Amino acid sequence: MNPYDYADAHREAFLAELETLLRIPSVSTLSEHKGDVHRAAEWFRQHLLDIGMTRAELFETPGHPLVYAEWLGAPGAPTVLVYGHYDVQPVDDPEGQWKSDPFEPVIRGGALYARGATDDKGQTLTQVKAVQSLLENGGMPVNIKFLIEGEEESGSVNLYDFIDNHHDLLRCDVAVISDTHILGKDRPSIVIGLRGMTYLEIEVRGPSHDLHSGSYGGVVHNPAQALVEILAAMHDAQGHITIPGFYDRVQVLTPEQRADLAKNPMSLERLQAETDISEAWGEPEFDLHERIGIRPTLEINGIVGGWTGEGAKTVLPARAMAKVSCRLVPNQNAIEIEKLIADFVAAHTPPTVTSETRVLHRGDWAVVDTDSPYFRAAADAYTFGFGKAPVYMREGGSIPVVASLQRAFDIPVILMGFGLPDDNLHGPNEKFDLECFYSGIRTAIKFYETIGAMH
Ligand code: BES
Ligand code: ZN
């Protein structure tokens, strides 16, 4: 059988396997799920052996394990490293918006709904199923290595050392990652840029313990108030970041580059449809797609302090804390930005309270080389899989491993995403469109065939 017919004939089986994987609540950031995270790693290890990989093992880290697998039966042919992640985001649902159990996948309207459906279990499995379809039919034209991590959603904190210490194991000619999205099923696209990130915690402390707000309010500076004053000073009214030096290294695009980006604009209508907001926000001198693709941001991800339980409690809290992260763009440097933020917080902390800024994790931005034969093979594969030539776009999200792989091996990295813009990754009712799953498998098979024939 040819691999495409094999993949078509096994749609039901592939879907059932994805459902099994999605039932494992592998939330990497919550320690109560440590066992589940391990189970998801083990599922991938066993599954990769089952599809015919000749080696598959778990590498333990101080955090969650990495899954490594290989099939190196095509001597002389290129070696592809497929990266994916088996961990998922938490399912916290303050607004009660999940329509079904996040860990009991269900199909509605041609899409599979579950946490991790698109990000990144479904997309990673798309690559695995392409490899299986080739292996089962005796036509695997390239060498394959899988590296599937369990800490992507919590900052890949143990991945960088692993890459540094396992150069020989991971050595490859090209890396492929399915963890991004296309613009639409009839608008295939390839991501050519990702933003970087630095993630911080800012804590403000005042009195040694919580106080009665009547006995002490008016004479003790409230740490929650001091914290929001510091945070509020970080943007001006138009959405520019006011931290001195923050924009210093941000690349200024040429008019040609800006015109190029404008070929795939984000429209206010799309933004409204996806988010239900009425007005856009942000730096007015940049278009919406520029604010997402090539401008850095500073975001408050969460803020706590004092009484937030049911009813009222008149308290003056001893401390308040915010989680703050920045999306970084070429040529910003995460460590430099962290220093600028820490200095800003210190300078804006009044003598009435103390503050501390802690870095949780960081990752570099990445720009993809569109000139490599591998990239052209990927573009052709999309044309085959989705019936239309892909456009190129810059994405606002981050996949820190991209820059690490580029640096470690000086190789092209292909962002072969198959999600859709409204898949709701990280939010309620995350989904993966089944057509994207099946067309993605065909696209990946085509890619492997093309690059196998290239050498
Ligand atoms: N799959 C996403 C990256 C992504 C986001 C691609 C949006 C396309 C659109 C990935 O799993 C992710 O969420 N990454 C984190 C990385 C961070 C923790 C360093 C992110 O972007 O927040
Ligand atoms: Zn992801």
Q: What pLDDT was estimated at residue 94? A: 82
What tens digit of pLDDT does each residue of 82-96 get?
Answer: 999 999 999 988 889
Q: What pLDDT was estimated at residue 5? A: 98
Q: Which ligand is nearest to the CA of 426?
A: 1
Closest Cα to atom 8 of ligand 1: 180
Residue reference for tokens 């059988």 = 1
Q: Is a pLDDT exceeding 80 seen at residue 182?
A: yes
One-letter amino acid identity for 373? Answer: P
Q: Cα(294)–Cα(288) distance, rounded to whole angstroms? A: 10
Minimum-distance ligand 1 atom for the alpha carbon of 363: 19
What tens digit of pLDDT does each residue of 122-144 get?
Answer: 999 999 999 999 999 988 999 99
Cα-to-centroid distance, 244 and ligand 2 (Å): 32
Minimum-distance ligand 1 atom for the alpha carbon of 400: 19
Domain locations in the chain as residue ranges: 3-194+365-454, 196-250+296-363
Q: What pLDDT was estimated at residue 80? A: 98
Give domain 3-194+365-454's CATH superfamily: Zn peptidases (3.40.630.10)
User: 179, 191, 200: which to mutate for ligand 1, most atoms within 8 A of CB?
Assistant: 179
Assigned CATH class of 196-250+296-363: alpha beta
Closest Cα to atom 20 of ligand 1: 398
What tens digit of pLDDT does each residue of 430-442 get?
Answer: 999 999 999 999 9
Q: What pLDDT was estimated at residue 139? A: 86
Residue 129: name the closest of 433, 444, 420 by CA.
444
| pTM above threshold 0.85 | yes
Q: Is a pLDDT exceeding 90 seen at residue 455?
A: no
Length of the chain equals 455
Minimum-distance ligand 1 atom for the alpha carbon of 191: 8
Residue 191: name the closest of 202, 181, 206, 201 by CA.
181
CA angle 14, 19, 20 (to 5 degrees): 100
Minimum-distance ligand 1 atom for the alpha carbon of 195: 21
pLDDT band at 260 (very low <50, low <70, confident <90, very high): confident
Stretch 434-453: mean pLDDT = 98
Q: Which ligand is nearest to the CA of 181?
A: 1
What tens digit of pLDDT does each residue of 308-329 get?
Answer: 999 999 999 999 999 999 999 9
Residue 298: name the closest of 349, 233, 252, 393 by CA.
233
Residue list, ligand 1 pocket, CB within 6 Å = 119-120, 152-153, 155, 179-181, 197, 363, 395, 397-400, 425
